[in-house]
Amino acid sequence: MRTAVLPVHPAEASRLTADLSAFAAFTEAGDGVTRLAYSALERRAHAFFEERMRELGCAVHTDAAGNTVAELAPTADTDVAGAIGTGSHLDSVVHGGRFDGIAGVVAAMEVARLAVGSSIARRRPWRFVAFAAEEGARFGQACNGSRMIAGLTSVEDTRHLRDVDGVSMYQAMCDVGLAPDELLSHVWDPAQWHAFVELHVEQGAVLQDAGVAIGVVDSISGSTRLHVVVDGTASHTGATPMHRRRDALVAAASCVIAGNSIANDSAHHGTRVTVGRLDVSPGAITTIPRTRRFRCGCARRRQ
Ligand SMILES: [Zn+2]
């Protein structure tokens, strides 16, 4: 991991602080920041981003997925193909932090300001992107805006993904003025891009523990979600001898411990295993558990 400490001019720092505060104000009431995917609040944050970028002279458009893309044209007379891009997302989880996603968008806005105010020649287009619906908090699937421009989520998929109120992603997109039926025509052409970098706040404490300000990601994890059902036999806790029991909870507990051991094994460096939910049936203190369901998340480091 390479590290660096970046000096920030006081005027730039105050601009960054003002932008961070402006985005944090687009939130539902309650603790932290709640600005869910394809909500009116998310769209207001995108509109704020769009206005600021237009003021800088960027050409701005919002695609069918709700991603907002601002572009500064090259200033040098070159025929170099493909843009340089940076940005992040504007939606949040429920009661999230004010920096998640926003740090990368605000950094992109500051890069655009510095670019416009400097004489640095741009050999390529510079694009600043606010992605839509990157969190899985509302519809259970993450990275929706970026999946759609990569052609990985179809119009049909948006009809099946639903929030806790039963609202489909398709309907939510229509309700905020987007056009999911046009998704296919908005898939990005890789030839139009040279490189993309996303600045993102660290959501663990590795950098903090190491005492460094910033790091470069050298690998990314792929997530697997499992829904496991363990079958046993329900019977009376007082009357059933230990050797005759088929206790689903005891068996499932072994699975939890095994998963934890695998993740801690040095041969699986970087893997995380989490059991985040348990349902025990029938759930009575005097009955041996018959079934137990658990939901398990596994993030496997990809080199
Ligand atoms: Zn994020």
Q: What backbone torsions phi and psi does residue 55 show, to the nearest 5 degrees?
A: -60, -30
Position 78 scores a pLDDT of 78
Domain ranges across the chain: 10-210, 220-302
User: Residue 39 C-alpha to ligand 1 middle, in angstroms?
Assistant: 17
Bridge-based pairing of strands 272-281 and 220-231 is unpaired
Spatial separation of the C-alpha atoms in residues 88 and 103, rounded to whole Å: 8
Position 80 scores a pLDDT of 83
User: Residue 79 C-alpha to ligand 1 middle, in angstroms?
Assistant: 34
User: Residue 139 C-alpha to ligand 1 middle, in angstroms?
Assistant: 16
User: Residue 89 C-alpha to ligand 1 middle, in angstroms?
Assistant: 6
Spatial separation of the C-alpha atoms in residues 47 and 26, rounded to whole Å: 11
Q: What is the 3-state secondary structure (H, E, C) of 159-226?
A: HHCECCCCCEHHHHHHHCCCCHHHHHHHCCCHHHEEEEECCCCCCCCHHHHHCCCCECCCCEEEEEEE
User: Residue 200 C-alpha to ligand 1 middle, in angstroms?
Assistant: 7
Bridge-based pairing of strands 272-281 and 193-197 is unpaired
User: Residue 78 C-alpha to ligand 1 middle, in angstroms?
Assistant: 35
Position 55 scores a pLDDT of 97
Question: Could you tell me the two tokens for 148?
Answer: 């759609």
pLDDT block averages, 10 residues each, the chain of length 303 = 60 92 96 96 98 97 97 87 95 94 97 91 95 94 94 96 96 97 93 95 89 86 84 94 95 95 87 89 92 74 48
User: Residue 219 C-alpha to ligand 1 middle, in angstroms?
Assistant: 16
Residue 108 CA, distance from chain mean position: 17
User: Residue 7 C-alpha to ligand 1 middle, in angstroms?
Assistant: 24
User: Residue 247 C-alpha to ligand 1 middle, in angstroms?
Assistant: 40
User: Residue 100 C-alpha to ligand 1 middle, in angstroms?
Assistant: 5
Cβ atoms within 10 Å, residue 282: 11
Residues in the chain: 303
User: Residue 40 C-alpha to ligand 1 middle, in angstroms?
Assistant: 19
User: Residue 129 C-alpha to ligand 1 middle, in angstroms?
Assistant: 14
Question: Could you tell me the two tokens for 146?
Answer: 């970026």
User: Residue 83 C-alpha to ligand 1 middle, in angstroms?
Assistant: 23
Position 303 scores a pLDDT of 39
User: Residue 22 C-alpha to ligand 1 middle, in angstroms?
Assistant: 18
Based on DSSP, count helices (H) and strands (E) in the chain, helices before strands.
Answer: 8, 8
Sign for the pseudo-dihedral over CA of 134, 136, 137, 139: positive
CA–CA distances in Å: residue 18 to residues 11, 14, 92, 93, 207: 11, 6, 19, 22, 25
User: Residue 281 C-alpha to ligand 1 middle, in angstroms?
Assistant: 36
User: Residue 136 C-alpha to ligand 1 middle, in angstroms?
Assistant: 10
User: Residue 111 C-alpha to ligand 1 middle, in angstroms?
Assistant: 19
Spatial separation of the C-alpha atoms in residues 224 and 12, rounded to whole Å: 40
Position 257 scores a pLDDT of 96
Question: Could you tell me the two tokens for 218?
Answer: 């050298």
- Which fold is adopted by the domain 220-302? Alpha-Beta Plaits (3.30.70)
User: Residue 198 C-alpha to ligand 1 middle, in angstroms?
Assistant: 10
Position 7 scores a pLDDT of 66
User: Residue 301 C-alpha to ligand 1 middle, in angstroms?
Assistant: 18
Position 33 scores a pLDDT of 95
Q: Which residues contact 175 (CB under 8 A, 6 or more apart)?
A: 38, 167
User: Residue 99 C-alpha to ligand 1 middle, in angstroms?
Assistant: 8
- Given 3.40.630.10, 3.40.50.10860, 3.40.50.720, 3.30.70.20, which CATH number is that of 10-210? 3.40.630.10
